[in-house]
Structure 1
Amino acid sequence: MELHIFSHGYGQITYHIVLVPKYRYNIFYNKHIKKDCELILINICAKNGYKIHAMEVVDNHVHLFLEFHPSSSLSKVIQYLKGGSSYRLFRLHPDLKNQYWGGSLWSNGKFYRSVGNVTADTIKHYIKESQGKTSEESQLHRFVRSEQRRLDDF
């Protein structure tokens, strides 16, 4: 994954998101519902400009590894995914309404974790080492200490 240039910034926003059906029912055990869910999520992501790095629909939950524009909030992304997929799955599979009589397919909760190419320790180390130093000092420090680092160094 690479960093992207935006109108007023440079960076990357990627998240591991897990969507869980209410009551953890194994609704995706049904191959038709599983395939429709995959296609619907792909469609929602394409329509909204989200990039899917990975997706896995298992019997009772969905894993998504998404990248999206910084102007999109995580809450809105999850709202579009859950709301859009719920509406379309109920229309394609009306029998799901018998199982989910309350009208909502997904549980109220959500799991998300930001994902990047560096670890938290790497960022802490970078901030600690760059504070109060000119760029020449930082370059010199990096050049002088070019040997392999051990985990203890962080």
Structure 2
Amino acid sequence: MIEAVIQYIPFVHYICCVKYRRKFLTPEISEYLKKVNQDIAGKFGVQIIEQETDRDHIHIIFASKPEVQLSKFINSLKSTSARLIFRDHPEIKKELWGGNFWSPSYFLSTVGEVKLEDVKKYVQSQGNP
């Protein structure tokens, strides 16, 4: 799979937390979120290498072509996933009184190919217990 994304380098590691670090990412919502993220990534021409959630945050490793504006991609990930989660799980919206699912901040860092396997293992270890 890595050979297919070499044209996309750099690899990017993204982390975002649920607002107020609420533990809403159940296995059901997590799987739904991963599918939504794959759809969004496809529309941007971004390839998701690995993604996993813990109860209150998500890690994604992705590869992006240089012409993709990462801020627009991340904004789309956050806004679309939040809108769909709130639509399908209205009980969550009631507990997030500010109206946002995701915290406004996020972590984004490039990942060197040498360290990619280590980062993938770390992301995989974030799975819901």
Q: Same fold (TM over 0.5)?
A: yes
Distance 1:40 1:13 in 2: 22
Which residue in 2 is equivalent to 1:61? 57
Q: 1:49 pairs with 45, 50, 60, which one?
A: 45
1:36-84 per-position Cα deviation (integer Å, ceiling 9, x unaligned): 1111112211222210111111111100001112111221121111011
Matched residue, 1:13: 10
Residues paired across the two proteins, number? 112
Q: How far apart, in 1, do the equivalents of 2:84 and 2:14 lie?
A: 20
- Counterpart in the other structure of 1:78: 74
- Over the aligned positions, Cα root-mean-square deviation in angstroms equals 1.7
**Where does structure 2 lack aligned partners over 5 or more consecutive residues?**
116-129
| Distance in 1 (alpha carbons) for counterparts of 2:38 and 2:97 | 26
**Structure 1, unpaired ranges of 5+:** 5-10, 120-154
SS in 1 for 2:15: strand
Deviations 1:2-22 (A, max 9, x none): 532xxxxxx622200001111
Shift of 1:101: 2.1
Greater displacement, 41-50 / 105-114: 41-50
Task: Give the counterpart of 1:101 among 97, 101, 112.
Answer: 97
Deviation of 1:118 (Å): 5.2
Whether 1:116 and 2:112 are equivalent positions in the alignment is yes
Secondary structure of the residue that 1:107 maps to in structure 2? strand
Greater C-alpha radius of gyration: 1
* Structure 2 CA distance for aligned equivalents of residues 92 and 46 of structure 1: 22
Where is the strand percentage greater, Structure 1 or Structure 2? 2
Query: What's the counterpart of residue 87 of structure 1?
Result: 83
Structure 1 SS opposite 2:113 = coil
C-alpha distance in 2 between matches for 1:59 and 1:96: 14
Q: Structure with the greater relative contact order (CA < 8 A, sep ≥ 6): 1 or 2? A: 2
**TM-score normalised by L of structure 2:** 0.78
Residue identity in the other structure for 1:74: L
TM-score by length of 1: 0.67
In structure 2, the residue matched to 1:27 is 24
Write 1 or 2 for the structure with the bigger share of helix: 2
**CA offsets per residue over residues 92-112 of structure 1, 9 Å max, x none?**
111111111221110011101
